[in-house]
């Protein structure tokens, strides 16, 4: 997706100065070679720094294009980068990018949704089975010297709720087919054809929460979804239900979640994302019915290559669009 309509003098791609803020992109030799072949004048984040604020501005300064990942691109950042013409997103979430600021400063935005969907879907399946079979709790007990059986449940024929039925939600529904699950979905957009094809019932948020044995979140973070899974929403869920979050941490009230887990009002939760990363609530992540991972939903080799190629494509599309404005 390319936004805005900025013209600048046409330069061959070899002259465009590109900055890559992402550490994982910078560390990937395949992506480096692909990018350098197209844009040889590229600066990588070889120091492996987590860039923000003034340090991010200094890194991007003097560059025409940028590939960014989890860095916050704010009004203050782009206002201090007069040379910047293009930002291409490495990854699918863009809640950390002020799109209005890009528009005001005539900066192209390259983005493609769903490029890491299979990587995230597989992590959801892994988390669902792990939590239903009490794997995290059993693992901790064995390490502490206790050897006892945990009686769990199969994923097969359970009711799974998917909140957010976009690229990842639909892919997850496909992966659940062999498990013969009843699948419920909630989204603000109606998807009658996809639901019919995937044998999914689209219903209300409350209905999903009340009926599902496993609830998986796949929402973008914006004003409408921030804090969406509140204490009240958690109270609708079955006492033995599992909540899985691989989208954005601020979608869930983490304090309310902790209390529900501690009091046995919720069976368990598996979170790959948090409001603050790394998470600062040590009590939450230490609970025996909580599984934590460090934002690895898209961190599969295959997904990294797909996300990286998508980001490179975003730069190429922008370069061609800018050139066309002159020709």
Active site residues: 248, 277, 295
The answer to whether the Cα torsion of 158, 139, 265, 170 is positive or negative is negative
Q: Residue with structure tokens 């070899």? A: 14
Torsion of CA 14, 66, 89, 73, to 10 degrees: -170
Two structure tokens written together for 214: 């496993």
Structure tokens, 87: 């930002």
**CA angle (216, 220, 223) in 5-degree steps:** 120
Contact residues for 285 (Cβ-Cβ < 8 A; gap 6+):
279, 292
Helix 29-38 / helix 301-324 crossing angle, nearest 10 deg: 10
* Distance in angstroms (rounded) separating the CA atoms of residues 77 and 163: 33
C-alpha to C-alpha distance for 217 and 213, rounded to whole angstroms: 13
The residue assigned the tokens 């922008």 is 318
Nearest to 227 by CA among 202, 188, 257, 207: 257
Please report where in the chains the tokens 């009340």 appear, as a residue.
210
């Amino acid at each position: 997706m390319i936004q805005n309509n900025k013209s600048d003098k046409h330069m061959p791609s070899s002259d465009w100065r590109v900055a890559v803020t992402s550490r994982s992109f910078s560390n990937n030799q395949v992506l480096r070679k692909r990018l350098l072949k197209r844009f040889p004048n590229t600066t990588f984040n070889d120091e492996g720094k987590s860039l923000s604020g003034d340090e991010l501005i200094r890194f991007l300064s003097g560059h025409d294009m940028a590939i960014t990942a989890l860095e916050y691109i704010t009004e203050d950042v782009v206002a201090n980068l007069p040379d910047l013409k293009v930002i291409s997103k490495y990854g699918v979430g863009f809640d950390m990018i002020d799109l209005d600021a890009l528009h005001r400063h005539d900066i192209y935005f390259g983005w493609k949704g769903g490029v890491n969907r299979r990587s995230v879907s597989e992590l959801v399946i892994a988390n669902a089975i792990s939590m239903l079979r009490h794997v995290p709790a059993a693992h901790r007990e064995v390490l502490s010297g206790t050897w006892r059986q945990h009686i769990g449940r199969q994923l097969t024929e359970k009711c799974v709720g998917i909140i957010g039925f976009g690229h990842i939600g639909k892919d997850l529904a496909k992966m659940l087919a062999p498990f013969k699950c009843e699948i419920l979905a909630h989204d603000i957009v109606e998807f009658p054809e996809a639901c019919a094809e995937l044998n999914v019932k689209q219903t209300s948020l409350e209905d999903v929460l009340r009926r599902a044995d496993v609830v998986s979140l796949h929402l973008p973070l914006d004003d409408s979804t921030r804090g969406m899974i509140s204490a009240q929403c958690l109270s609708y869920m079955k006492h033995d239900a599992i909540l899985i979050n691989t989208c954005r941490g601020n979608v869930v009230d983490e304090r309310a979640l902790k209390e529900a887990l501690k009091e046995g009002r919720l069976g368990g939760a598996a979170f790959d994302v948090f409001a603050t990363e790394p998470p600062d609530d040590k009590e939450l992540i230490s609970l025996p019915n909580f599984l934590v991972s460090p934002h690895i939903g898209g961190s599969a080799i295959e997904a990294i290559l797909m996300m990286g190629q998508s980001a490179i494509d975003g730069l190429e599309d922008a370069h061609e669009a800018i050139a066309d404005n002159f020709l």
